[in-house]
Amino acid sequence: MSLGIISNFAADVAQRNLTQSSDEATRSVARLSSGTRVLSARDDAAALAIGSRLNAEQEALGQAQVNAGQANSMLQVADGAMARIDDILVRMNTLAVQAASGQLDGDSRAFLNDEFDALRDEITRIADDTEFNGIKLLNVTAGDPNVTVDFQVGTGNEDNEDRITVSLVDVTVAGLDADLVAADLTTASGAGNAIENVIDALDALNTERAAIGASQNRLEFASQAVATTRENTEAARSQLLDLDVARESSNFASQQILVQAGVATLGQANALPQNLLSLFN
């Protein structure tokens, strides 16, 4: 290659390499400051696409786990109220057994019946008053649109895979046993019938509590499964997108050296035409 003072090929080469080293150093700084290996599609288009989906999945799984926890809390509220209704029915059964005994007169049975009536009203009051976020949990009729609060515990839209359906219940007096509504302890025979009514109501209540308990256990296992899936999803996302800081720090140091060398070399290359002027002397 001939030597000339108009074109400076050496400076052009040095400038090109310096620009490349400077760009790489800048990208290294960006990666180190952001903590991610893939800043844009130019870095790794496939990893960016997959990582973006995994990130969305992980965020959705986090919300699904929250949903499962809130659903369990909702059912816990229902079960706690049913436990109190169970206590009331046990007391009503005791009153009915007492009133059925022949040693009591009419006045004594009337006193027992007053408490029996009050406790019966309390069952319905508890059922009416038990709510979670405005949703009645224990006084649900067949036509109520909330007879079944589908819990989203997955990230998709499949009923059997991503949602758990729990049926809410009616544990008012009428809902537990229709005959208990008119039960009366003022006579021995009426008290005897009331015993059967209360026992039937207890059986119905315990059936509903068992269903609630089964749903709680299912939601607990679902929450644990979501947590495990979330951990694995995060590990996969991290493998694709997270930066190897030690490796990138080494790369940045290397690029810094190249930039410094490029600056020095470019200075030398720019001095070459000046050296050619000595040939005129």
120 and 65 both lie in a single domain: yes
138 and 121 both lie in a single domain: yes
Closest by CA position to 206, among listed 165, 177, 181, 166: 177
pLDDT averaged per 10 residues, the chain (length 281): 59 70 70 71 76 84 89 91 95 94 89 95 92 85 60 79 82 91 92 94 93 90 88 82 71 74 70 66 61
71 and 113 both lie in a single domain: yes
214 and 92 both lie in a single domain: yes
Q: How many domains does the chain have?
A: 2
CATH code for the domain in which residue 150 is found = 1.20.1330.10
167 and 213 both lie in a single domain: yes
Rounded-to-integer distance, Cα 45 and Cα 87, Å = 63
161 and 179 both lie in a single domain: yes
In a domain, 111, yes or no: yes
Partners of 131 in beta bridges: 136
144 and 16 both lie in a single domain: no
The parent domain of residue 128 ranges over: 45-241
In a domain, 1, yes or no: no
pLDDT of amino acid 145: 47
Q: Please answer whether residues 95 and 115 qualify as being in contact, where contact means their C-beta atoms are separated by less than 8 angstroms.
A: yes
Residue tagged 């290294």 (tokens):
28
In a domain, 124, yes or no: yes
Rounded-to-integer distance, Cα 200 and Cα 96, Å = 13
In a domain, 2, yes or no: no
